[in-house]
Amino acid sequence: MRFCILTIYPEMFPGVLGHALAGAALREGRWSMEVRNIRDYALDKHRTVDDTPYGGGAGMVMKPQVLADAIDDAQRWMPEARLMFMTPRGHVLQQAHIHAWMHDDHVQDYIILCGRFEGIDERIIDVYQPIEVSIGDYVLFGGEVAAQVVMEAMVRHHRGVLGNQQTTDEESFALGAENACLLEYPHYTKPPLWNGRSVPEVLLSGHHQHIHAWRWAQAERVTELRRKDLWEAYCAQRGKTT
């Protein structure tokens, strides 16, 4: 899996992805990342990448030609790549997107465009039709942190990065296998009694069926309490009443 990142802050990468399991997998060559500075495609001596918006208003807009040159160059290098643009206006990222992208055997390459300022010239979106991705309904200074969120979610799903595949199969948004819709059940570790609080008896029983049933019930309870949207989807899928 290869990423090409287009940003005006290349020094922000690999960022969190240079550490822990993602960092180890990067060093082992299980995934790779090339970071390109959009300013390198500016033609003036000040390396300008932004300009004032037509129609007025606050902030600056990233100029189309600089972005087009950066994208064209990346696409020459990775002709089959999926192009993504990080923006709060995009589709809000879901585990199902990660799953779909990771299971598309034809695409192993991703070009991720990180916006800054008020945004990018809309004609870039018209021409290149990137997948517009948001990591949530809030506004960051730019797309760099958001790109790292997307990349981390993809890298941890990548074959061989997590030793124990069960870990990704059983966590939040994956319980229930193909159709992910429950939050994760609570976890406990040693000691069995801490600060006057004990670990639920069933988890100490060694009875796998009972443990599984308890975890499933807990996942249902926490989902119903916290996420009505997921709970309703889960119930609808199973013909269960909410």
Interface positions with ligand ADE (CB under 6 A) = 86-88, 134-136, 138-140, 142-143, 146
Task: Write out the DSSP string of 76-87.
Answer: HH-TTPEEEEEE
- Least Å distance, CB 13 to ligand ADE, is 15
The Cα 194–Cα 197 span in angstroms is 5
Task: Report CA 233 to chain centroid distance, whole Å.
Answer: 22
Antiparallel, parallel or unpaired: β 193-194 and 197-198 = antiparallel
Q: Which is nearer to ligand ADE, 121 or 220 (CB)?
A: 121
- Least Å distance, CB 90 to ligand ADE, is 6
- Least Å distance, CB 21 to ligand ADE, is 23
- Least Å distance, CB 97 to ligand ADE, is 13
Q: Which is nearer to ligand ADE, 135 or 182 (CB)?
A: 135
Q: Which is nearer to ligand ADE, 139 or 217 (CB)?
A: 139
- Least Å distance, CB 70 to ligand ADE, is 17
Residue 169 and residue 184 in contact, taking contact as beta carbons nearer than 8 Å? no
Task: Write out the DSSP string of 9-62.
Answer: -GGG-SGGGGSHHHHHHHHTTSSEEEEEEGGGG--STT---EEPPTT--SS-EE
Phi-psi region of 151 (alpha: psi -120 to 50; beta: other; left: phi over 0): alpha
Q: Which is nearer to ligand ADE, 62 or 175 (CB)?
A: 62
Q: Which is nearer to ligand ADE, 147 or 161 (CB)?
A: 147
Residue number closest to ligand ADE, CB atom: 146
